[in-house]
Amino acid sequence: MADIIQLLPDHVANQIAAGEVVQRPASVVKELLENAIDAGADSIKLIIKDGGKALIQVIDNGIGMSTTDARLSFERHATSKIKSAEDLFSLNTKGFRGEALASIAAIAHVELLTKREEDEVGVQLKIEGSKVVTQDVTVTPKGTSLCVKNLFFNIPARRNFLKSIQVEFRHITDEFQRVALAHPNIQFHFYNNGSELFNLPSSNYRQRIVNVFGGKTNEKLVPVEEETQVVKITGFITKPEFSKKSRGEQFFFVNNRFIKSAYLHHAVVSAFEGLIKPGNFPGYFLYLDVDPSSIDINIHPTKTEIKFDDEHTIYALLRSAIKHALGQFNVVPALDFEQDQNLDTPYAYKGKGAEVPKVVVDATFNPFSHDMASPSKSSGSGGGGTNRSSYEKPNTKGWENLYVGLESKVGKESDFSSVSFESEAITGSIFDDSKKALDHVATTFQLKRKYIVTTIKSGMIVIDQSRAHQRVLYENFLKNITIKEAVSQQLLFPLSLSFSKSDIVIIEEILDSLKTLGFAFDKIEDELVEISGVPLLVPESEVGMVLDQLISDYQLDVQIDSFSQSDIVSKTLCKTLAVKTGEQLDNDSQMALVNDLFACKEFKISPFNKPIYITITGDDIDKKFM
């Protein structure tokens, strides 16, 4: 038999490589921006159309390329950035694989314009699916312009797999922001469908963060500074009170390269322990400088994960640097009346401060939200459908309430009796067994601040508190959206919230569904949203967080496979507002939650398809004793 192995033709090899390098338009954006930075540009323009599906163009004023280099740059493993394997250990460029341009040119229509300072004229190259279509001499300014059209034109399967324009746009914005945050000294412009989204002048780290995330960000930032032999840490964390339920504004840069690291993230979060509510995340923008030979960035094709030689030390240093920054910062508020009072409070989510007098707590409360959703008001309106879930309030209204479980319980006693009453009435028809059991015993207890344990006729059930509450809220929201349509509570004073420009773009896109939900908007501006009405079950103090979560869920691919818009929205809301693992529930709240759960249409499975409870029968227990 003849030999059967052949070398793959270049264009096939390139297409295969492209599968790794180019997952979506945002990958192209990242590669092109990085090339522009490596070329020493101090001004970079990014232009996209239709989420990058129609056009991605990056224009820089860097060193440009000679005609020969321009041709070579599209060859695989063609790079000016490393010459030998040793160079891999002292990398100070973004690129080094020499794969990006070859990969991109294999799966798109690419047009390159480039000129070096010293050359009279530049060169224009057009390449389609790895084939050079034209090469011309051209007049063009110093630097490089790379234009990528019809991404995946020759791989329909990949093209069809792209998400909606909005989702792809969001991925691009993410990449853009990462690069822009890593290089504040470089000026960036970003145009989306012909309009300017970002115009970021050359500045410092702090100013760049503010320019990207909006004017309100400045006051949230606490500087972090630490220099040791292993690592130099600079950057900012956000003050604890600005922590969010959604992840998003969390950035690590190592030697000015954005990286993801669950391990380092943990270091930061653990430094915040006790300062923020469980399930919330601090924002951070942390720049780590290490010796390039002490890291390996070669472990991931898209290079967002790196390996440190001495990860443990970096973890410890990072954690202590942040603790230090937080500590320093916490000294200041005593003297500064502008500071939020929350920061002076010795809060601890472990519920240590249960004896804090009621008065103190109310003082830290937002007076507006108190007006809108005070316990007295809700009980005054009778045992209506929405009141059934009022037990959520001590736990979700604000983090202040976490350490005053005791107080809230007293304040809501009357509420809960009516709550339980109504729930039981409903429960009776659906879950007879447990209803009877609950009637008789009516005891619940909380296990590990995570489960609610209660007895039923046949034994006992262990309920995941967070999932149970998600289910209860989910059905409530769905009902509100589908049946009642736009049940809105008008705010006494409109609420002004600031968002980044890219978030505003998303708010505008989902405006209709937000309105159906019950949100009413007075104004939507550059970085500001004024809200005059919110959905019935959303406490005013949670509005900002809910919107953040809606925005971040929308960016994820959630909406693609979800059945309908209202379903996504209900899911986001229930996820955001439900009690979390780690939150203490008093007895009445536990009871009310159990009752409400079994009044749901589907009480076994959470909205995210997870089991809500398990049953342990008497027999099961008997067996254990055999």
With CB under 5 to 8 Å by kind, the binding choice for 62 among ligand ADP, Mg ion, none is ligand ADP
d(C-alpha 349, C-alpha 449), whole Å: 11
- Does residue 269 interact with ligand ADP by CB under 6 A? no
- Does residue 67 interact with ligand ADP by CB under 6 A? no
- Does residue 95 interact with ligand ADP by CB under 6 A? yes
Among 81, 142, 370, 457, binds ligand ADP (CB under 6 A): 81
Shortest spacing between CB 227 and Mg ion, in angstroms: 31
With CB under 5 to 8 Å by kind, the binding choice for 144 among Mg ion, ligand ADP, none is ligand ADP
| Phi, then psi, of 4 in degrees rounded to 5 | -120, -10
- Does residue 73 interact with ligand ADP by CB under 6 A? yes
- Does residue 127 interact with ligand ADP by CB under 6 A? no
Query: Interacting stretch for Mg ion, rule CB under 5 A, among 27-35, 303-311, 319-327, 346-354?
Result: 27-35
With CB under 5 to 8 Å by kind, the binding choice for 166 among ligand ADP, Mg ion, none is none
List, in order, residues 6 or more apart from 24 with CB less than 8 Å away: 52, 162, 163, 168, 171
Query: Interacting stretch for ligand ADP, rule CB under 6 A, among 62-70, 377-385, 583-591, 597-605?
Result: 62-70
- Does residue 60 interact with ligand ADP by CB under 6 A? yes
Token reading at 177: 């922001």
- Does residue 63 interact with ligand ADP by CB under 6 A? yes
| Phi, then psi, of 291 in degrees rounded to 5 | -65, 125
- Does residue 79 interact with Mg ion by CB under 5 A? no
Pick 58 or 569: Cβ nearer Mg ion: 58
> Amino acid identity, residue 558?
V
- Does residue 95 interact with Mg ion by CB under 5 A? yes
> Amino acid identity, residue 495?
L
- Does residue 35 interact with Mg ion by CB under 5 A? yes
**Which is nearest to 592 in space by CA: 356, 417, 378, 354?**
417
- Does residue 35 interact with ligand ADP by CB under 6 A? yes
Quote the distance between the C-alpha of residue 419 and its chain's center.
35
Pick 38 or 407: Cβ nearer ligand ADP: 38
- Does residue 395 interact with Mg ion by CB under 5 A? no
- Does residue 27 interact with ligand ADP by CB under 6 A? no
What is the number of the residue whose Cβ is closest to Mg ion?
A: 95
What is the number of the residue whose Cβ is closest to ligand ADP?
A: 95
- Does residue 100 interact with Mg ion by CB under 5 A? yes
Among 23, 42, 98, 489, binds ligand ADP (CB under 6 A): 98
- Does residue 282 interact with Mg ion by CB under 5 A? no
With CB under 5 to 8 Å by kind, the binding choice for 98 among ligand ADP, Mg ion, none is ligand ADP
- Does residue 14 interact with ligand ADP by CB under 6 A? no
**Which is nearest to 169 in space by CA: 58, 23, 31, 26?**
26
- Does residue 97 interact with ligand ADP by CB under 6 A? yes
| Phi, then psi, of 476 in degrees rounded to 5 | -60, -45
Q: Dump the DSSP string for 97-161.
A: SS-HHHHHHHSSEEEEEEE-TT-SSEEEEEEETTEEEEEEEE---SEEEEEEESTTTT-HHHHHH
- Does residue 80 interact with ligand ADP by CB under 6 A? yes
d(C-alpha 518, C-alpha 573), whole Å: 12
Q: Dump the DSSP string for 223-278.
A: EEEEE-SSEEEEEEEE-GGG-BSS--SEEEEETTEEE--HHHHHHHHHHTTTTS-T
d(C-alpha 47, C-alpha 157), whole Å: 25
- What are the distances in angstroms from CA 196 to CA 141, 188, 202, 245? 22, 11, 17, 30
With CB under 5 to 8 Å by kind, the binding choice for 422 among Mg ion, ligand ADP, none is none
Query: Interacting stretch for Mg ion, rule CB under 5 A, among 17-25, 28-36, 483-491, 498-506?
Result: 28-36
- What are the distances in angstroms from CA 573 to CA 74, 243, 248, 537, 576? 48, 18, 17, 9, 5
Helices (H), 237-389: 262-271, 311-331, 358-364, 367-373, 375-380
How is the beta sheet containing 250-254 ordered, strand by strand?
221-227, 231-238, 284-290, 250-254, 257-259
- Does residue 65 interact with ligand ADP by CB under 6 A? yes
Shortest spacing between CB 208 and ligand ADP, in angstroms: 21
Pick 59 or 495: Cβ nearer ligand ADP: 59
Judged by the rule CB under 6 A, the positions of this chain that interact with ligand ADP are 31, 35-36, 38-39, 60, 62-65, 73, 78-81, 95-102, 144
Judged by the rule CB under 5 A, the positions of this chain that interact with Mg ion are 35, 95, 100
